[in-house]
Amino acid sequence: MSFEPKILGIACNWCTYTGADLAGTTRLQYPQNLRVVRVMCSSRINPSFIFKAFQLGADGVLVGGCHPGDCHYNTGNLYARRRLAVTKKILEFSGMEPGRFRVEWISASEGNKFAEVVREFTEEIRNLGPQTKFKIS
């Protein structure tokens, strides 16, 4: 059987989650490997959530937020950008494949982009194979 990755998505309520809804409303098709947790703002994302997700066996983690400048809470995603960039560097230096963690800015109107990102990311994770480094067995 081919490898079906498990991907955890964490999406902000105002942009990316709504964008994901729009992808559905417009019936765009994308792989079903992504499971989304809704938070109010990408800045809510604690870096430990990301580490934890990998420990729980996520093969990839996708974070979605509003475009910088469009944050519902003005500046949340600007903090998130820095914090998640550091998260990414830490993952990389710990030996995790850099491709497994991605941050995308997807607005409420970008249903297309949401679907496209999910397709692309799922494919990338599929190519990377199962994530075993952090996974607690």
Write out the residues near another protein by the rule CB under 8 A: 6, 8, 17-18, 20-25, 27-30, 32, 35-41, 43-49, 51-53, 55-58, 68-69, 72-76, 78-79, 81-98, 102-103, 105, 115, 133-134, 136
Which CB, 57 or 124, lies closer to another protein?
57
CB of 127 to another protein, least distance (A): 14
Which CB, 44 or 124, lies closer to another protein?
44
Closest CA to 59 of 37, 86, 33: 33
CB of 126 to another protein, least distance (A): 14
Q: Are 36 and 76 in contact (CB under 8 A)?
A: no
Which CB, 69 or 120, lies closer to another protein?
69
CB of 74 to another protein, least distance (A): 5
Q: Are 16 and 102 in contact (CB under 8 A)?
A: no
Looking only at the bridges linking them, the beta strands covering 60-65 and 34-39 are unpaired
CB of 107 to another protein, least distance (A): 13
CA distances from 65 to 38, 108, 129 (A): 11, 10, 26
Closest CA to 9 of 48, 43, 49: 49
